[in-house]
Amino acid sequence: MASLGELERAVMERLWAADGPVAATRLRDELADRGVALTTVHTVLTRLEQKGFVRHDDARPRRFSPRASREEHAAELMHEVLGQAADRQAVLARFVGSVNDEEARLLRELLAGARTRDAG
């Protein structure tokens, strides 16, 4: 039994791969190897809509399409990670922030200096 998270990812893969809006029945057929019921597909699609990853049109039956590409979602995340405002820094623990060019040069000199001393 696949977890909801895995199913969500599988559904998104299909939606991203499709060249237009996709009906839930087609998604069920494409996921046939997982033995997913149509109600499950609808549950997954509802969850994805709530998370803002998927939207549907007004056709009957409804057809679903991704709101943004995978790359756009990745970019959104990286934008938040790289452009952290002060309070956002509390959200995640980043290994190290980037410093400006001058600082980066100083840091490399620091490393090089230590290496020379180790050798000598």
Partner 1 sequence: MLPATAVALAVLAALLAWPVPAALARSRWPVRDPLVALVCWQAVGLAGGLSMIGALLVHGLAPWGHSLPEAVWTVLTSRPAGTAVRGDHWVALTLAAVLAFQLVGVLVLSWVRIARTRRRHRELLELVVQPGPQADARLLEHPAPVAFCIPGARPLLVLSSGMVAELDEEQLAAVVAHERAHLAERHHLLLLPFVAWKAALPVLPAAERAHGSVRELVEMRADDVALGSLHGTAPRRTLAEAIVAAAGGQGGGAVPTGALAVSGTGVRARVVRLLEPADPLPATARWVALAGAVLLLLAPTALLLLPAVS
Task: Tell me 87's DSSP state.
Answer: G
Q: Which stretch binds partner 1 (CB under 8 A): 17-25, 32-40, 57-65, 107-115?
A: 107-115
- Cα–Cα distance between 24 and 12 in angstroms, integer? 12
Taken in order 99, 100, 101, 105, the sign of the CA dihedral is: negative
Task: Tell me 69's DSSP state.
Answer: -
Smallest gap from residue 3 Cβ to partner 1 (A): 10
Closer CB to partner 1, residue 38 or residue 104? 104
The residues that touch partner 1, with contacts defined as CB under 8 A, are 5, 8-9, 12, 51, 53, 70, 73-84, 86-100, 102-108, 110-111, 114, 118
